[in-house]
Structure 1
Amino acid sequence: MYQWKECTYNTSDRQVFFTIKKLTLPDHFYVTFVGANGSGKTLLARALEGELKLLFGNAPSGLKISSISFEKQIKLMEEDFERRNSDDPRAETGFTPREMFAAISDDTQEISRLCDILNFSYALDRSYHKLSSGEGRKTLIIEALLKKPDIILLDSPFDGLDPAARKELQDLLTRIYDAGASVIVNTNRFEEISPRSEYLGLVMSRDLARFGYRDEILEDSSVKQLTHYEKLPKICALPRVPLDCQIPLDRSQPLIVMKDVTVAYGDHVILNKLSWTVNPYEHWEISGPNGCGKSTLLSLVTGDNPQSYCNDITLFGIKRGSGESIWDIKKHIGYVSPAFHLDYRISSPVINVILSGYFDSVGLYEQPGDEKISLARQWLSLLGLSAYENASFRSLSFGQQRLLLIVRALVKQPPLLILDEPLQGLDGLGRELVRRFAEFLMQNGETQILFVSHHEGDAPRGIGKRLIFTDNGTRTFDVKIEIVPK
């Protein structure tokens, strides 16, 4: 039996505290913790793992815990970046999952078994920085499982995974639990609470506020309030766009035209002769399994993929390769994605993150002026984050960071807003707020939206068309287009 009594933890800078007044767990357990963005779920995970300093109280010691989290994914990305930019020519490709797994275990059969379960064998020899968000998450999950822990702790493990992968992971966690290991899961979505999770905890205001049997806690009024959308502000207007940030565009021609586009890395074909047109005032949802090419497709639109120059692509009336600069493309686009979030390493004040959206920069390098500062504060108020105006971006929770990056992408209400898995890491209220922002823009502005999600029902109301990648069984994907019923 594991017991925590009157425990107070704090972070290394001694500025953030987390408390566990009482928590008792049996020797073998399956526990899920839920809570709003910024409530402290990740702090709880770090406390249980022993990463936070215990100031007061009694807590178990020596727990063999293996964990995955967004913070560990950031750390791995930073280590991979440093390796690829080192003087060692052998390290220019960075880490590969096979190399990472071999550093933990020499049991190749177990590595193959876990890769087969999570449909990951095809990606073993890819560079980590070239994996999709979901593939990167699978890498961390397999790495954690190879350590054979007594307790596996997963902080938002289903984020970035397609429906099939989420089911495979749920089934795998059940098998791990049945085999004798204990499981702890943090999640923002109630549908991700496993039926095998006997216990449920509610985290509020950096405190384990409720804990008990799952069904009893689900009936708790505090838990039910997490989905009370009436608490959200009604979106009747959004902060205006400054005159010097308004982007005129000829709406008589399509935003995007791709003809027989192919993208391949060596023998691996990502996109195969894809043709796609986004006409004026169309809004699209893009869906498909992990690794199908969604992010590659979007990188052609944002201008970040060098293979866009060897394909027939016209963006905002400008044909790629006709002498345009990358900024001629990017100035029309607001963009947020899991990869962008991972790469956003700037530890600037929260308000500066929003202000940087007016300048299309990562970080703030210009004087914004009083008008833009006032508008940024209006956005913070809409997000309910006014109290964090001068806090460090990196000090916020994953969900709070994601909300800020979404607002950064839409402050200019750009001609094209690309939301690549924007709701990842957000609680129910945060997801609904972002949908309302998008719906307002579609109904009242000139912004067209490309929306990517692995969750059915996440897309904002008003999306008219879908581009769907479907697996044809050969690790290449067919594409179909359909009209969304009104």
Structure 2
Amino acid sequence: MKSIKLNNVTANLGVDEHVSFALSNLTWQVDSHQHWVLLGGNGAGKSAITAVLLDQANIVSGTRRCDFERMEIVSSDMQKQLLAAELLVDQDDITDGKTDPKLVSELIYQQASANFDEQLCQQLITGFAFEPLLKQRLRALSTGETRKLMLIKALSNRPELIVLDEPFDGLDVESTERLNTILAALSESMTMVFVLNRLAEIPAFISHYGYVIAGELQYQLANPDEKQRDDLFKLLHLAHTDLTIPGKDMQLSAPAFHDPELVRLQNASVSYNGQIIFSNLNWTIKAQQHWQLSGKNGSGKTCLLNLITGDNPQCYNNDIKVFGFQRGSGESIWQIKQYIGYISNALHMDYRVSICALNTIISGFYDSIGLYQKPTQRQLDLAMQWLALLGLSEFKNTPFTQLSYGDQRMLLIARAMVKHPTLLILDEPCLGLDEANRQRVLLLIEKICAAGSSTVIYVNHHAKDKIAGIEHYLDMADFSG
């Protein structure tokens, strides 16, 4: 029987003298045919522990012994690296380089192992309805579609052990069900280690549970009974306190807008290379009409939002009126964005500046990635109140890039909310958050809805994350090409 054994390991992640996370007293053994899930709060060190497991960390002391020869990982960090590599190719192309961006089909076979399973690869492509995307470029894929690409590539290599760090993030309900079925079948021949935040996503075949606190694997349960699992899950829930939304900066909050009609789209459509993403979409958003926007991966949810914000050039080919401006009438993008707060996975991927947590929130007053103005005392005070609300006060001076993915997400949500926008667009705001932080964010959004100052558009795949106060629904399936 093969295994990985970590014995009293002290390790850190980082480059040279820059340590981004430290682990201590790590003793853990993963045997073949065991299936683990690591649980814990944002920033606890779950992903860092899997980095040690896969020999991707600097071991300071202790020992690591590994019998597995073939290992794979699917994670948000790997997804970022894949997109960053493609961005470099794009930049090379802009500067007259000779490197062409690879097709999705080429990326699947890139660095394929000797054990690459062509039949399994085709099953995964069919199961995910991925065939039409094989001739696309990576940058054309949605977040969920990129995650599917990584899953197809990693699983087709037939690893002996695979780490699946939030594998369901960004996937719609149908794709999540298909992946669960695929993983259940493969669990007979692969050892799996999951990093999950959603308890409901824990697969039925999981045999071992680990709970991570402050960089230490403090609890390990083998084949726990129902009571042991319930006791472990209770550790993941924080007691909610009464939450009060911080006030406004009267100088830089969204200006007053008195027309009850905020947005109107008439017969809107978006297409790329002759392929219709959606068409004949009519949508009017009125003040205090809070909406939930749903649809499968690639159905055009983010495209639709980008028509509103002006980040999709096809907004000028459509009949769109936003905050009193008819699109294409000479308005600037900033005349529209002054009314809008926005959080999306694309924004998170683009937010790569190393400003501190406090300034990340303040940047929301200026709609900037990074902070290039000296903040006022009022802005500093409000940002500190947001940090306290999110439980991140101790990280006020920590660079954004050194925080965990979940903590980064929380900061970007506060950044979107800080100016009390007339329209608050939340494109999968809970992606990457643990149970406690997810509930805190959902409660915050409820309070925003109830406060009467912002109208909310909430994009989400998970029906359980419905929010009190959101009573209007738009399903992109009704407008598919």
SS at match of 1:321: coil
Q: 1:14 to 1:274 in 2, by over 3 A?
A: closer
Q: Output the CA distance in 2 between the equivalents of 1:214 and 1:327.
A: 55
Q: Output the CA distance in 2 between the equivalents of 1:368 and 1:177.
A: 53
Structure 2 residue corresponding to 1:74, chosen from 80, 83, 98: 80
What is the deviation of 1:427? 1.0
Q: Output the CA distance in 2 between the equivalents of 1:95 and 1:464.
A: 43
Q: 1:248 to 1:17 in 2, by over 3 A?
A: closer
Q: Output the CA distance in 2 between the equivalents of 1:104 and 1:61.
A: 22
What is the deviation of 1:112? 2.5
**1:86-97 correspondence to structure 2 within 5 Å:** 86=92, 87-88=95-96, 91=99, 94-97=101-104
Q: Output the CA distance in 2 between the equivalents of 1:96 and 1:348.
A: 34
Q: Output the CA distance in 2 between the equivalents of 1:387 and 1:42.
A: 21
SS at match of 1:38: coil
Q: 1:328 to 1:91 in 2, by over 3 A?
A: farther
Q: Output the CA distance in 2 between the equivalents of 1:160 and 1:15.
A: 26
SS at match of 1:358: helix
Please name the residue that 1:484 is paired with.
none
Contact 1:69 1:157 in 2 (8 A): yes
1:124 aligns with 2:134: yes
Please name the residue that 1:483 is paired with.
none
User: How well do the aligned residues superpose, as a CA RMSD in angstroms?
Assistant: 1.9
Please name the residue that 1:7 is paired with.
9
Structure 2 residue corresponding to 1:256, chosen from 263, 272, 284: 263
Structure 2 residue corresponding to 1:85, chosen from 91, 116, 124: 91
1:233 aligns with 2:241: yes
Structure 1 residue corresponding to 2:393, chosen from 363, 366, 386: 386
Contact 1:112 1:121 in 2 (8 A): no
Structure 2 residue corresponding to 1:209, chosen from 218, 228, 244: 218
Contact 1:34 1:186 in 2 (8 A): yes
The code of the aligned residue for 2:27 comes to K
1:429 aligns with 2:436: yes
1:24 aligns with 2:29: yes
Q: Which moved more, 1:388-397 or 1:142-151?
A: 142-151
SS at match of 2:224: helix
Q: Output the CA distance in 1 between the equivalents of 2:117 and 2:33.
A: 26
**1:214-225 correspondence to structure 2 within 5 Å:** 214-216=223-225, 218-219=228-229, 221-225=231-235
Contact 1:188 1:428 in 2 (8 A): yes
Contact 1:6 1:20 in 2 (8 A): yes
Please name the residue that 1:156 is paired with.
166
- What TM-score do the two structures reach when normalised by structure 1? 0.92
SS at match of 1:226: coil
The code of the aligned residue for 1:182 comes to T
Structure 2 residue corresponding to 1:173, chosen from 164, 180, 183: 183
Please name the residue that 1:440 is paired with.
447
What is the deviation of 1:108? 5.3
The code of the aligned residue for 2:430 comes to L
Q: Output the CA distance in 1 between the equivalents of 2:21 and 2:208.
A: 26
1:291 aligns with 2:298: yes
The code of the aligned residue for 1:348 comes to I
What is the deviation of 1:225? 2.6
Q: Which moved more, 1:5-14 or 1:278-287?
A: 5-14
Q: Structure 1 vs Structure 2: percent identity of aligned residues?
A: 34
Structure 2 residue corresponding to 1:277, chosen from 269, 274, 284: 284
SS at match of 1:219: helix
Q: Output the CA distance in 1 between the equivalents of 2:186 and 2:102.
A: 27
The code of the aligned residue for 1:52 comes to A
1:300 aligns with 2:307: yes
Please name the residue that 1:194 is paired with.
203
Q: Output the CA distance in 1 between the equivalents of 2:431 and 2:457.
A: 16
Q: Output the CA distance in 2 between the equivalents of 1:27 and 1:61.
A: 11
SS at match of 1:167: helix
The code of the aligned residue for 1:8 comes to T
Please name the residue that 2:41 is paired with.
36
Contact 1:104 1:146 in 2 (8 A): no
- What TM-score do the two structures reach when normalised by structure 2? 0.93
What is the deviation of 1:107? 6.4
SS at match of 2:463: coil
Please name the residue that 2:355 is paired with.
348
Please name the residue that 1:482 is paired with.
none
Contact 1:284 1:466 in 2 (8 A): yes
Please name the residue that 2:417 is paired with.
410
Q: 1:251 to 1:104 in 2, by over 3 A?
A: same
Q: Which moved more, 1:408-417 or 1:273-282?
A: 273-282
Q: Output the CA distance in 2 between the equivalents of 1:350 and 1:423.
A: 18
Q: Output the CA distance in 1 between the equivalents of 2:96 and 2:314.
A: 27
Q: Output the CA distance in 2 between the equivalents of 1:153 and 1:371.
A: 45
What is the deviation of 1:220? 6.0
Q: Output the CA distance in 1 between the equivalents of 2:29 and 2:120.
A: 33
The code of the aligned residue for 1:29 comes to Q
Please name the residue that 2:58 is paired with.
53
SS at match of 1:152: strand
Q: Output the CA distance in 1 between the equivalents of 2:131 and 2:96.
A: 27
Contact 2:109 2:153 in 1 (8 A): no
Contact 1:233 1:382 in 2 (8 A): no
Q: Output the CA distance in 1 between the equivalents of 2:254 and 2:428.
A: 25
Q: Deviations over 1:72-100 (max 9, x none)?
A: 111111111111111356656x3432120
1:114 aligns with 2:124: yes
Structure 2 residue corresponding to 1:330, chosen from 318, 334, 337: 337
Contact 2:278 2:476 in 1 (8 A): no
Q: Deviations over 1:144-175 (max 9, x none)?
A: 12322110111011111011111111111112
What is the deviation of 1:176? 1.5
| Ranges in structure 1 where 5+ consecutive residues have no aligned partner | 479-486
Q: Output the CA distance in 1 between the equivalents of 2:471 and 2:406.
A: 28
Q: Which moved more, 1:323-332 or 1:16-25?
A: 16-25
Q: How many residues align?
A: 469
Q: Output the CA distance in 2 between the equivalents of 1:207 and 1:285.
A: 38
Contact 1:6 1:21 in 2 (8 A): yes
Q: Output the CA distance in 2 between the equivalents of 1:218 and 1:120.
A: 40
Flag as ranges the 4+ runs of structure 1 deviating above 4 A.
88-92, 106-110
Structure 2 residue corresponding to 1:372, chosen from 369, 379, 382: 379
Q: 1:255 to 1:79 in 2, by over 3 A?
A: same
Contact 1:38 1:396 in 2 (8 A): yes
Contact 1:128 1:136 in 2 (8 A): yes
SS at match of 1:82: helix
1:477 aligns with 2:453: no
